[in-house]
Amino acid sequence: SQTIHQWPATLVQPVGSPLSLECTVEGTSNPNLYWYRQAAGRGLQLLFYSVGIGQISSEVPQNLSASRPQDRQFILSSKKLLLSDSGFYLCAWSEGNEKLFFGSGTQLSVL
């Protein structure tokens, strides 16, 4: 069966520090991969999605970037974090259809 792993669960980082959040999927090939952010008390905002290795679509211009170095690996990065980058980050995958499966999320606090 398919599983999605996202880590770390919680992260506290100082302003200006780099960021790397990782997400991996098991049990499937060539999934669509997604990064969403949920600010406190807000809905989910799509940040990036990928339909294949090296293919990244950005939805919102910001301080973040995404990469897909392997088929089932999706990484969210920043060179210098801002206070506004704080939030709950969710990774998700699909088999190229409308059914998305979500990871357990990473709570990022930038201080």
Interaction between residue 14 and another protein (CB under 8 A): no
Q: How far is CA 20 from CA 35, 55, 91, 95, 96, in A?
A: 13, 18, 13, 25, 25
Piece of 17-25, 63-71, 76-84, 90-98 that binds another protein (CB under 8 A):
90-98
Q: Please state the separation of Cα 55 from the chain's center in Å.
A: 14
Report which of 74, 44, 77, 50 is spatially closest to residue 63, judged by C-alpha positions.
Answer: 77
Piece of 10-18, 62-70, 76-84, 96-104 that binds another protein (CB under 8 A):
96-104
Interaction between residue 96 and another protein (CB under 8 A): yes
Interaction between residue 49 and another protein (CB under 8 A): yes
Give the phi and the psi of residue 55 in degrees, each rounded to 5: -105, 110
- Binding-site size for another protein (CB under 8 A) equals 22
75/92 with CB nearer another protein: 92
Q: Residue 70 is encoded by which pair of tokens?
A: 């392997």
Report the nearest approach of another protein to the CB of residue 25 (Å).
15
